[in-house]
Amino acid sequence: MRLDLSPTSWGRVIAVTVAGTAFFIAVAFFVDSFNFPYLSPEALWHAELTDLLLPLVLGGSFLFFLMWKIRQLAIAQRDLSVIAATDSLTAVLNRGAFSMLVEAYLEQTRKQEQPRSGALLIIDADHFKSINDRLGHDSGDQALKLIAQAIKGQLRGSDIVGRIGGEEFGVFLPGVDPSQSWLVAEGIRRRIREMDFSPGGRACPLSVSIGGTSFSGPTTYEAIFSAADRRLYAAKSNGRDQVSFDPAEASLVSQPSVATVH
């Protein structure tokens, strides 16, 4: 079993406390050892006991307190980093954190000899302004939370999801081919369409338009975002509540009742 020595772990606190205390005891014995030959047996026993207990009590307590405070600071820093990267309403990544993580992945793939595939989806809530206008902003916020939950429910642990606009979400799917990414997008669309959203007892069907693009070689976040955004525009122009992929990569479009190919 591997000991966790991360800054937020108790393992690090205990390991540093034990190692540091042992070092203090060793130093105390080393410094006092020059006097040992001149001490009586009783005085030698008292000196050795002092060299053991003094560093153990004082040094051990000090190190434990210091490492405990350092651990608290590390936890606070981690929590602040999570808060800074998370959209407070939907609990997914915010736009800056999402784009940074996607670009970091793409930059890593550009350095590798073997091409890696993936896809980017842009998901936009249909007629969202009318929800706010008719039902109020609280209902609009609830709708966004439900949409975010539906998106996360369709994703793998390695996928990345973020809120990149008011009612717009981005999903990055590393290592998938066009057909797989289309199935994920279609699953998201269907799941949201089938959700029960009835604020105040008033039924309000939700739907989303999804634009996507896939890649199988070196690319940039700006390039795939622009391609996915164009497909999103096409999905909304063609009637909304559908998935549209870049024809250069996936050539697939799904609609609520029929499927066509661009």
CA distance 172 to 152: 12
Neighbouring CB atoms inside 10 A of 69's CB total 11
Contact 101, 93 (CB under 8 A): yes
* 107 labelled catalytic: no
Catalytic pick among 103, 107, 113, 167:
167
Give all strands of the β-sheet with 259-260 in edge-to-edge order.
160-163, 168-174, 118-125, 208-215, 243-245, 253-254, 259-260
CA distance 164 to 87: 9
CA distance 4 to 17: 15
> What's the maximum distance between 2 C-alpha atoms anywhere in the chain?
99
Question: Would you call 210 helix, strand, or coil by DSSP?
Answer: strand
CA distance 132 to 157: 32
**Residues recognised as catalytic:** 167
